[in-house]
Amino acid sequence: MALRSTVELQLEARILAKNDRAATANRELFQSRQWRVLNLLGSPGAGKTALLEATLKALGDRPEPPIQLYVIEGDQATDNDARRIQAAGGHAVQVGTGQGCHLEAAAIAQAAELLNPPHGSLLVIENVGNLVCPALFDLGEAAKVVVISTTEGDDKPLKYPHAFRAAHAIVLTKTDLLPYVPFDRDRFLDCVRRINPTAPVFEVSALMGLGLGDWCAWATATTAAPTDAS
Ligand code: MG
Ligand code: ZN
């Protein structure tokens, strides 16, 4: 294994410190606008966008006063996911990261201002599909959520401990496939608990619309419904 040089490590520390300053400013912005901001992390194909499409539908079906969902989509290329959210009735902007493999706080401030959700909205940032460096970059979010599907390995929490440790909630997607895939649910939950003893684990099928109620209740827990027609 190649050891990284002191210069590389100093550069990395500088990049992270700069990001942390932007994240602190984001956090103040989000609080002042009363947005509940979630940062969604997961591998490509984990079902992050499908979860958001299903969340939009589930929030719309609830008897409570509607909470609006706004989405910042991060991908290296295309605006496909932002268009999926819009087609599902949500508001979304796409941030293209080019060669970048994660979102940084400065880009989030611009995207959030562009979206400008009303007070009390839920604002979800769908990070670039990647379980490694997105865990290191604070975006100013209230909570990180790791999304993992039953088509991935049930030992993923042990392989990507930084993301799972940083998670305030974990969503296991594609539960409708459990009878057909070798994913061992009990082993997965055991791996999660070894890395992160406290985060709630929500088990959902976006395709079948299963398990979304508890997830939506958690996701919107601290968002206040807007009191006026803002
Ligand atoms: Mg996506
Ligand atoms: Zn990265």
Note the ligand closest to the C-alpha atom of 134: 2
For residue 227, being part of any structural domain is answered with: no
For residue 230, being part of any structural domain is answered with: no
Residue 134 binned pLDDT confidence (cut-offs 50, 70, 90) = very high
For residue 228, being part of any structural domain is answered with: no
Task: Quote the ligand 1 centre to 216 CA distance (angstroms).
Answer: 19
Task: Quote the ligand 1 centre to 171 CA distance (angstroms).
Answer: 15
For residue 52, being part of any structural domain is answered with: yes
For residue 22, being part of any structural domain is answered with: yes
Note the ligand closest to the C-alpha atom of 19: 2
Structural domain harbouring 97: 7-221
For residue 229, being part of any structural domain is answered with: no
Note the ligand closest to the C-alpha atom of 137: 2
Long-range contacts of the stretch 94-102 (C-beta < 8 A, 24+)? 97/128, 100/76, 100/128, 101/76, 101/128, 101/130, 101/132, 101/133, 102/74, 102/127, 102/128, 102/130, 102/133, 102/134, 102/136, 102/137
Give the predicted TM-score (pTM) of the model.
0.93
Q: What is the pLDDT of residue 223?
A: 67
Note the ligand closest to the C-alpha atom of 53: 1
Task: Quote the ligand 2 centre to 184 CA distance (angstroms).
Answer: 29
For residue 182, being part of any structural domain is answered with: yes
Task: Quote the ligand 2 centre to 168 CA distance (angstroms).
Answer: 20
CATH of the domain at 26: 3.40.50.300
Calpha distance 148→153 (Å, rounded) = 9
**For range 176-196, the mean pLDDT:** 98
Note the ligand closest to the C-alpha atom of 75: 1
pLDDT tens, position by position, 43-90: 999 999 999 999 999 999 888 878 899 999 999 999 999 999 999 999
Residue 179 has pLDDT above 70, yes or no: yes
Q: How many domains does one find in the chain? A: 1
Greatest alpha-carbon span in the chain: 58
Task: Quote the ligand 2 centre to 2 CA distance (angstroms).
Answer: 19
Q: What is the pLDDT of residue 66?
A: 81
For residue 114, being part of any structural domain is answered with: yes
Centre a 10 Å sphere on the Cβ of residue 222 and count the other Cβ atoms it contains: 12
pLDDT tens, position by position, 202-226: 999 999 999 999 999 999 997 655 5
Q: What does 141-160 look like in DSSP terms, one character per residue?
A: -SEEEEEEETTS-TTHHHHS
Task: Quote the ligand 2 centre to 197 CA distance (angstroms).
Answer: 26
> Average model confidence (pLDDT) for the chain?
94
**For range 109-126, the mean pLDDT:** 95
Q: What is the pLDDT of residue 94?
A: 96
